[in-house]
A = this chain, B = another copy of it.
C-alpha cells in the first residue's frame, strides 16, 4: 500500500534541486544563529533566484503560510538580508537577497553575543559583592573563580572588534 504523497512533497516538486540545496544550506546556518526555519527557507530561495519574488510567490513555492512569510521577511529585512525592489505595474513588494553575507555574522555578534557578554560582566560585579560577604573558605574559592571568569569574558569581548573586521572585510 503506497501512501499518497505528503503535502510537503507536492510543494517540494515545484522547487528545483538547486533551490532545495540552497534552502537546506541556509536553514542550517540560520538555525545556528538562532533564526527559525522559515527565515532560512526564504533566504535560501531568494539566494538562488535571479528574479525578485513577491511574498505570495514565496508562500506558494515554499508552501508556507501568509503569516510565516510576512514574519520571515520582517526578520530578514531587519538584519538587512533582503531588500525590496520596485516592479513597475505591480503593487506587491518584490524581494531580492542581499549578498553581503557578513551581515548575518555581524548581526549575530552585535545583537546576540555582545549583549550577552556585557550582561555577564555586569552580573559578575553583582556576584563579587555577594561573595565578599561570605566566610573565608567559600569566599576565596568564589573570588578566584569569578576573577577567572571575568578575565575570560573580557578576553572574549576584546576579540569581537577584530572578529567583526575580519568578517566584514
Question: B-contacting residues of A (Cβ < 8 Å)?
Answer: 16-18, 21-22, 24-25, 28-29, 32, 47-48, 50, 99, 101-102, 105, 112-113, 116, 119-120, 123-124, 126-127, 130-131, 134, 137-138, 141-142, 145, 148-149, 152, 155-156, 159, 163, 166-167
Copies of this chain, how many?
2
CB distance from A8 to the nearest CB of B (A): 20
- In the bound complex, do residue B159 and residue A21 qualify as a contact, i.e. CB atoms below 8 Å apart? no
- In the bound complex, do residue A22 and residue B127 qualify as a contact, i.e. CB atoms below 8 Å apart? yes
- In the bound complex, do residue B28 and residue A141 qualify as a contact, i.e. CB atoms below 8 Å apart? no
Residues on the B chain within 8 Å of A166, using CB: 159
Residues on the B chain within 8 Å of A149, using CB: 47, 101
